A and B are shown apart, each in its own frame.
Chain A
Amino acid sequence: MRHFVFIALKHILARKRQSFVSLLGIVIGVAFFLAISALMQGSQNDFIARLIDNSPHITIYDEFREAEKQPVEEMFPDTVIELRSLKPQTESRGIRGYRQIVDYLKSLDGVKASASLTGQAIFSFAGRDVNISLNGMIPQDMRDITTIDDNMVEGSLEALIANRNGIVVGAELMRRQSLSLGDNITLSASSGQVKTYKIVGVFRTGRADYDKSQAFLDIKRVQALMNRSNRANAIIVKMERPERAREVAALIESRIRYKSVSWQESSEDLMSTLAIRNMIMYSVVSAVLIVAAFGIYNIISTIVMEKHRDIAILKSMGYRSRDIKFIFLVQGVLLGACGVLLGLPVGCLLMYGLMQITFNPPGATEPIHMPVDWGVEQFLIAGAFAFFAALFASYLPARKAADVLPIDILRGGQ
């Protein structure tokens, strides 16, 4: 075994330049594979992290997935029933008994929940009307449920807790409307109510449209403005382990019957887009490694071709075909393994270089670094793919070498 590796090594070292070139191919292939896949994975992770951070993990809506069953349907479950001129009871929309639901949700492990009432209002200032989305929540809960607290640039949530007439708005709105902390703004809602609030906090998420259109305030104030006293139209849930959101949402929905949507469900189309993007990326970077594998195929084929005589003599000595095959496979493995060992650090350098690049994505107000994922899977995938590509590339010539008939070579003399 060690002896075969020794022979393989000698064969490779006898062709230093050629071996070096094919090794370089693998090194570059691995490095690019690693850097690109780390970048793609990084941007995906970054994207999902933002998605998870900035949106509720589970949102419970004030509606049901399926229409409520009519009593007559329950009475005759096996018959076709036609109901004419059905006039359902009209009631103001909202989640009934939201306080009990929130209490129930808070009793679950690793779950934080808050009722919220969202609605639209118009803010008029200096003759300009701006549409604002109001997020009414219990101010104490906002810190747990939203990322507003992390994004505060002026004022604080404490001020909102202290002053129930306060409002927290985005920095972009402040800038466009020339507002400053402590100013009063007057909002009018479709209910006809007009109320004035005092700006006690300013947040900046970096997403311009969010920063100009969202406002946070006490749920009671929104209920009053909307004329929907004691109503909530959504319950927002944050979890310690967002990846479990799907099952927890199903559990919640089975208990309280209101439609509960996990972040995975609400962003399914995005997830499938990401999956397709990954497939495209992997096929492109794999192509680099496949080209590199051709380099290995090339050098080992050349060695096999030149070594027909040596193969014949080894066989005449008593080396079996599988010994010969093994010797040439080992050459591919050696080149592949060295390529991976050198390629991964080079890939790390590339990744480090990529991390230094900053850019301004559209809609963002602050430059961000290229997101690079340093997860161990990237290294494993890049290394394993390169290794197996090298193994396969050497398998074909190795099989050819094993098939050399010594008699054909020895009879011919030279």
Chain B
Amino acid sequence: MEALIRAENLTRILNGDVDVTLVSGASLQVSAGEFVSITGPSGSGKSSLLYLLGLLDKPTSGKLYVAGQDTLSLDEAGLAKIRLENMGFVFQFHFLLPEFTVLENVMMPMKRLGNLTDRQAREKGVSLLSDMGIADQADKLPRKLSGGQCQRVAIARALANDPAIILADEPTGNLDSASSKVVQGILQKLAHDHGRAVIVVTHDMDFAATADRKIRLVDGKISSDRLSI
């Protein structure tokens, strides 16, 4: 099966007074249905790798194919299109837009894609929210929700355009343990039941242990890439 993400020798160097190597020669492939965790000590470049895979940052060298497309030849708008159609992001902080209701936040990516009518988008938003168990919060502003609820809204938003790839950067980093468990369960289910490629950056070893495949980064290099048994 064609890998959804194929990275070859990805390197990212921050140029400044002192050049800093964030990611060095990372090669990996991720396929549909895989639940991958990326761990490593802080400063090991795990978030940087995730941002490279998520096309939010450009590698200094190396090759990166997402959904079969060579991403290095694309301009900003082309990259945005890939993100829009194929990727959903979940961050440590929920980053919901404060002026918009929960449902409007979830509808943001759908509106940009523009494939659905307003009514269809609304229905899909509500169904995504009910999958997350928070359909009753749909018309509230994000600030009325708890942290865990907000993170679930953010996941619903990440799923808005049915992306094949979910990228999560410390999604439980800011949550209490009960909420963390819920979010972990959702992400796991997305990979196993819905066949999405889920890549999670985390420093939570218990969370990482639930992944099918564990990638460990040290000093920007992939030090191990193992399947769980």
Which residues of A are at the interface with B, using a C-beta cutoff of 8 A? Answer: 3, 10-11, 13-14, 309-310, 312-323, 406-407, 410-411, 413-414
Contact = CB atoms under 8 A, between A and B. Distances in A.
A322 B51 contact: no
B77 interface: yes
B93 A413 contact: yes
A contact face: mostly helix, strand, loop, or mixed: helix
Nearest to A13: B99
Nearest to A312: B95
Contacts of B84: 317-319
Interface in B165-186: 169
Nearest to A406: B56
A317 B163 CA distance: 11
Contact of A316 (B54, B77, B97, B100): B54
A316 B99 contact: no
Given A10-B99, A318-B84, A319-B80, 20 more contacts: A3-B111, A3-B112, A3-B114, A11-B99, A14-B98, A309-B95, A310-B95, A313-B95, A313-B97, A314-B108, A317-B84, A317-B112, A318-B80, A318-B82, A318-B85, A318-B109, A318-B113, A407-B57, A410-B169, A411-B51
Tell me which of A11, A14, A406, A414 has the highest count of chain B C-beta atoms within 10 A of its own C-beta: A406
Contacts of A413: 92-93
A330 to B, nearest CB: 14
B112 A410 contact: no
Interface string B83-113: 1110101011101011110000000110111
Given A407-B51, A411-B47, A310 B91 contact: no
A79 B216 CA distance: 105
Contacts of A323: 112
A322 to B, nearest CB: 7
Please provide the 6 A-B residue pairs with the shortest distance between their CB atoms, ordered closest to farther.
Answer: A318-B84, A3-B111, A318-B83, A313-B95, A10-B99, A320-B80
A199 to B, nearest CB: 82
A17 to B, nearest CB: 15
Contacts of A310: 95, 97-98
B17 interface: no
Contact of B89 (A3, A10, A316, A411): A316
A408 to B, nearest CB: 10
A410 B85 contact: no
Interface in B24-68: 47-48, 51, 54, 56-57
Contacts of B140: none
B77 A322 contact: yes
B19 interface: no
B143 interface: no
A317 B108 contact: yes
11 contacts: A10-B100, A13-B99, A14-B98, A318-B82, A318-B161, A319-B112, A321-B80, A323-B112, A406-B56, A411-B51, A414-B93
Contacts of B157: 317
Nearest to B88: A317
A16 to B, nearest CB: 12
A6 to B, nearest CB: 8
B81 interface: yes
A108 to B, nearest CB: 66
A401 to B, nearest CB: 14
A249 B56 CA distance: 73
A318 B76 CA distance: 10
A3 B111 CA distance: 7
A263 B206 CA distance: 95
A313 B160 CA distance: 14
A297 B91 CA distance: 32
Contact of B51 (A3, A313, A320, A410): A410
Contacts of A411: 47-48, 51
B91 A410 contact: yes
Contacts of A414: 93
A316 B95 CA distance: 11
A219 B157 CA distance: 94
Contacts of B89: 313, 316-317
A13 B98 CA distance: 12
A323 to B, nearest CB: 7
A413 B85 CA distance: 25
Nearest to B174: A413
A407 B80 contact: no
Tell me which of B47, B80, B92 has the highest count of chain A C-beta atoms within 10 A of its own C-beta: B80
A9 B81 CA distance: 25
Contacts of A316: 54, 56, 83, 89
A10 B100 CA distance: 8
A279 B195 CA distance: 70
A219 to B, nearest CB: 82
A388 to B, nearest CB: 27
Contacts of A314: 97, 108
B77 to A, nearest CB: 5
Nearest to B105: A313
B83 A317 contact: yes
Given A309-B95, A407-B56, A318 B169 contact: no
Nearest to A3: B111
Contact of B109 (A13, A14, A309, A317): A317
Contacts of A11: 99
